[in-house]
Chain A
Amino acid sequence: MAKQPAAIVGIGQTHHRAKREDVSMAGLCREAIDRALADANVSLDDIDAIVVGKAPDLFEGVMMPELFLAESLGAAGKPLLRVHTAGSVGGSTAIVAASLVQAGVHKRVLTVAYEKQSESNAMWALSVPVPFNMPVHAGAGGYFAPHVRSYIRRSGAPTHVGAIVAAKDRQNALKNPYAHLRNPDTTVESVLASQVLWDPIRYDETCPSSDGACAMVIVDEDTAAASSNPAWIHGTVMRSEATTAAERDQVNPQAGRDAAAYLWKQAGITDPLAEIDAAEIYVPFSWFEPMWLENLGFTAEGEGWKLTESGGTAMDGRLPVNCSGGVLSSNPIGASGMLRFGEAALQVRGAAGEHQVDGARKALGHAYGGGSQFFAMWVVGADKPSN
């Protein structure tokens, strides 16, 4: 049986900040949820099921958020699911929520993802020494920096491409009232002048640590009829792979390539660069923009940096990438993937405000997690899919 059509009719997010000491985790989630419900013009009583995602447990010291959040999320008497795929969790949570509608199980599903990084220390949580092993781990930046170096070597990219991405996303963030970092003075030169934290990754090429949440209301075809601007789901995909394997491609992982190929096929897209009007790609370190452009098939291998360097990923470029400012400007880790998915939906709904890409009809939301081992993606469109 074919999937049932499903659409996003409500999107909400918090104003992302370094510290939201004025709200609890439940309160943070409800800020995003209440905005999503208001956007969808429904109440919690109209919701059939709730799907929640958050960052890895050690990040916040909360192992079973669904237990203590159930009542605040309005889940009493309803199915409540939790999804867990490291940094990609926001994306995979949205996909699980969408699948409940696409499968015909529920008509109106609320999904929410959050993180309060200020309550803990993600760098510590990612670097807990493992017995017998060499204690050279140094957080996410320490993990990804060697692979960024490999990308630069393999592609022959000039070393300032990462700074182009960082300056672009920080400037885009100024157009997004919800973005965490607001640094109007960020330029390619200022990024290049910032401290090198995990050589070759500089401070300004790194995502911030944020508190924030994102929520969406995903509904069936009948319910979507009441919305003036639903974002229709044209395809969803998740793929995983081993973190460490002999000759595993850490720069251009197989799981990401396979996921993208299947996603484009589902969405009936044969030339993603020409057919996608806006992309929200999970870029926590600036170099991942060109790396994922290649992995997603927007460019040939080794060519991603050329699109970035040419300005092709700027808001007025051929493929606007991260018009919201992206993960580089707001990073509540557990919510970051859902923000990508939600921002893609805002674009095709024409509801992205100052960072709207004119006339966007099809958009990509993308998230990855772990050691580039989990991938989650969706394509959303202004038109109901024909397939």
Chain B
Amino acid sequence: MSRTLSAPVTVAFDYTRSTGPVLGRFLTGLREKRVVGVRTSEGRVVVPPPEFDPVTHQQVDDFVEVADTGTVTSWTWVPEPVKGQPLARPFAFALVTLDGADAPMVHALDVSSPDQVRTGMRVRIRWAEERVGAITDIACFEPAEDAAAGTATQLGDLGDNPVTGVITPVELDYLYAASPEESSFYRAIAEGRIIGQRCPTCGKVYVPPRSACPADGTPTTDEVELSHTGTVTTFCIVNVPFLGQRITPPYVSAYVLLDGADIAFLHLILDIPAEEVRMGMRVKAVWKPREEWGTTIENISHFSPTGEPDADYDTYKHHL
């Protein structure tokens, strides 16, 4: 058995990017199968356009249209494409200087082997069938050895439906690893026990235990079996719904200080109307049916009032 527990986590969100007027023009152009660049104060044509001039620092405004043909200035081979890359088969990432531009842009070049790529080769944009005003409107570049040289021209009208935003889905997959101390806590939870550990330096009982006591940096060591009852130190009633929420509001999110512990942890309070929950209220862990248990604090469904008198404020005021 591994010393530590781990579990996969996926964090994903579709971020909505405002392009601003400069990048918006570039993306609007792509939607119309046109490549928009900008002439900088030094007279260089750059694609995609920078938002601000590298010399004057002013927002750029001298827009040009360049050809959809160009020349490879450098490249690298991608033998094993990964998810999200422009092509699912092996391809080259190439720096392509479009005809009329003075600086290269990077994109995929669709060739079947590295033998078919060389610096100086002529290429052409392969446009996506459906274009939405995003860099993916350029599906990739493809070889075009016979393509005549194009030039830059002043940008004409792009229509009255400019692109102002793009959606950028971001997804992060990783493995969350609990520390050895936390792992022993969650393994005990899987057996219906709640264990803390005492810091050998300051003597405080941490639940869950810690790899480094926040006060002195010492790993907690001496195991302490904790009671399943405790005191609500403080709490809030969550009335607001939000994206990704796992519990339907309203619910009481409370700090529960277990008897024998020196730190409270957050859990859910049920079996009592939310407005009757009190600081100092005595509560006990209510466990899910054993067959639903895993190595998670969620084995404890919630905490429920014990019916005992409320704890005296002095017994928990140092835990606020």
Residues of A within 8 A of B (CB): 20-27, 30, 43-45, 58, 60-61, 71-72, 74, 76, 116, 118-121, 123-125, 127-139, 141-142, 145-147, 149-150, 153-154, 195-201, 242, 244-251
User: Which interface residue of B11, B15, B298, B300 has the most chain A CB atoms within 10 A?
Assistant: B15
Contacting pair A149 B279 (CB below 8 A) = yes
* Cβ contact within 8 Å between A61 and B15: yes
Distance from A38 Cβ to chain B, minimum over Cβ atoms (Å): 13
Q: Are A26 and B20 within 8 A (Cβ)? A: yes
Once the chains bind, are A147 and B234 in contact (CB under 8 Å)?
yes
Determine if A22 and B13 form an interchain contact, defined as CB atoms under 8 angstroms apart. Answer: no
**Alpha-carbon distance between A201 and B235 when the two chains are bound, in angstroms:** 12
Asked if A149 and B295 sit within 8 Å, CB to CB, the answer is: no
Cα separation A200 to B233 with both chains bound (whole Å): 15
Interface of A: prevailing SS: loop
Asked if A142 and B234 make an inter-chain contact with CB atoms under 8 angstroms apart, the answer reads: no
Return the chain B residue nearest A196 by Cβ: B239
Q: Does B153 contact A (CB under 8 A)?
A: no
* Cβ contact of A133, chosen from B54, B297, B320, cutoff 8 A: B297
Which residue from chain B places its CB closest to the CB of A127 in the assembled complex?
A: B244
Q: Which 6 A-B pairs have the closest CB atoms?
A: A145-B236, A24-B20, A242-B214, A199-B237, A245-B214, A131-B7
In this complex, how many residues of chain B approach chain A with their Cβ under 8 Å: the count is 73
A58 to B237, CA, bound (A): 26
Contact of B253 among A142, A153, A242, A247 (CB under 8 A): A142
Q: Specify which of A30, A58, A134, A150 is in contact with B267 (CB 8 Å cutoff).
A: A134
| Per-position 1/0 for B1-23, Cβ under 8 A of A | 00001111101010111111111
B255 in the interface (beta carbon within 8 A): yes
A-B contact pairs, 9 of them (CB 8 A): A22-B164, A23-B18, A24-B22, A30-B52, A128-B244, A132-B295, A146-B236, A154-B320, A249-B320
Q: When chains A and B are docked, how far (Å) is the Cα of A353 from the Cα of B236?
A: 39
Q: Chain B binding site: helix, strand, loop or mixed by DSSP?
A: mixed
Residues on A with C-beta less than 8 A from B242 are: 121, 123-124, 127, 138-139
**Neighbouring B residues of A134 by C-beta, 8 Å:** 265-268, 297-298, 300
Q: Which residue of A lies closest to B9 (CB)?
A: A131
**Bound-state Cα–Cα, A298 to B123, Å:** 69
The B210-232 residues at the A interface (CB cut-off 8 A) are: 213-215
- Provide the residues of chain A in CB contact with B176, threshold 8 Å: 130-131
Residues of B within 8 A of A127 (CB): 242, 244-245
Contact between B240 and A138 (Cβ–Cβ < 8 Å)? yes
Decide if B215 touches A146 in the complex (CB within 8 Å).
no
Contact of B234 among A139, A146, A195, A242 (CB under 8 A): A146
A141 and B240 within 8 A (CB)? yes
Contacts of A74 in B (CB 8 A): 52, 57
Instruction: Specify which of A20, A145, A198, A247 is in contact with B18 (CB 8 Å cutoff).
Output: A20
Are the CB atoms of B244 and A124 closer together than 8 Å?
A: yes
CA distance A201 to B238 in the complex (A): 10
Q: Is B132 an interface residue (CB 8 A)?
A: no
Task: Judge whether B76 is part of the interface by a CB distance below 8 angstroms.
Answer: no
Decide: B238 and A198 in contact? CB cutoff 8 A: yes
- B23–A24 CB distance below 8 A: yes
Residues 5-53 of B contacting A (Cβ, < 8 Å): 5-9, 11, 13, 15-23, 50-52
Given contacts A134-B298, A196-B239, contact A71 B234 (CB under 8 A): no
Q: Tell me the complex Cα distance, A20–B51, Å.
A: 17
Establish whether residues B20 and A246, one from each chain, have CB atoms under 8 Å apart when the complex forms: no
In the assembled complex, the CB of A185 is this many whole angstroms from the nearest CB of chain B, namely 23
Contact of B320 with A24 in the complex, beta carbons under 8 Å = no
Report A-chain residues with C-beta under 8 Å of the C-beta of B88: none
B268 contacts which chain A residues (CB < 8 A)? Answer: 134, 136
Which residues, 166 to 210 on B, are CB-close (under 8 Å) to A? Answer: 168, 170, 176, 178, 182, 186, 202, 204-206
Q: Contacts of A139 on B, CB cut-off 8 Å?
A: 240, 242
Q: Does B165 contact A (CB under 8 A)?
A: yes
* Residues of chain B within 8 A of A149, CB atoms compared: 234-236, 279
The smallest C-beta distance from B198 to any residue of chain A, in angstroms, reads: 10
A interface footprint on B253-282 (CB within 8 Å = 1, 0 otherwise): 111000000110111100000100001000
> From B319, which residue of chain A is reached at the shortest CB distance?
A247
Nearest CB in chain B: distance from A21 CB, A = 5
Do A61 and B168 contact each other (CB < 8 Å), given the known contacts A27-B20, A119-B17, A247-B262?
yes
Whether the Cβ atoms of A142 and B262 lie closer than 8 Å is no
Verify if B246 is at the interface (C-beta below 8 Å from A): yes
**A26 and B51 in contact (CB under 8 A), knowing A21-B164, A246-B263?**
yes
